[in-house]
Amino acid sequence: MSISAETKKKWLVKLLGAVLIVFVLGLIHAVIPHFYHTVAHYVWHRDVQGLSTYIASFGYGAVGLCMLLIVMVNAVGFPSIQFLTLNGLVFGVGPGIVISWIGEVIGIEIAFFFMRTLFRGEAKKIIQKSSKLQKLDSHCNMRTIMLGRAIPYTPNVALTALSALSRISYKDHFLANIAGKLPSVCVEVWLGHDLLQLHEHWQRFCILLVCLLAGYAVVYWVKRHKVKPMTD
When mean pLDDT is compared across 3-7, 33-37, 90-94, 173-177, the lowest value belongs to 3-7
Maximum mean pLDDT: which of 93-97, 188-192, 200-204:
93-97
pLDDT band at 223 (very low <50, low <70, confident <90, very high): low
**Position with higher pLDDT, 182 vs 120:** 182
Q: Do residues 55 and 45 touch, judged by C-beta distance below 8 A?
A: no
- 89-127: string of b/e by CB count within 10 Å (b at 16+)? bbbebeebbbbbbbbbbbbbbbbbbbbbbbeeeebeeeb
pLDDT of residue 156: 87
30-40 pLDDT tens trace: 989 999 899 88
Domain ranges of the chain: 5-224
**What rounded mean pLDDT belongs to the chain?**
82
129-139 pLDDT tens trace: 656 555 666 67
Rg (the chain; Cα; Å): 20
> What global pTM score does this model have?
0.78
51, pLDDT greater than 80: yes
CB neighbours of 71 closer than 8 A, spacing ≥ 6?
103, 106, 107, 110
**Position with higher pLDDT, 63 vs 140:** 63
107-118 pLDDT tens trace: 999 999 988 887
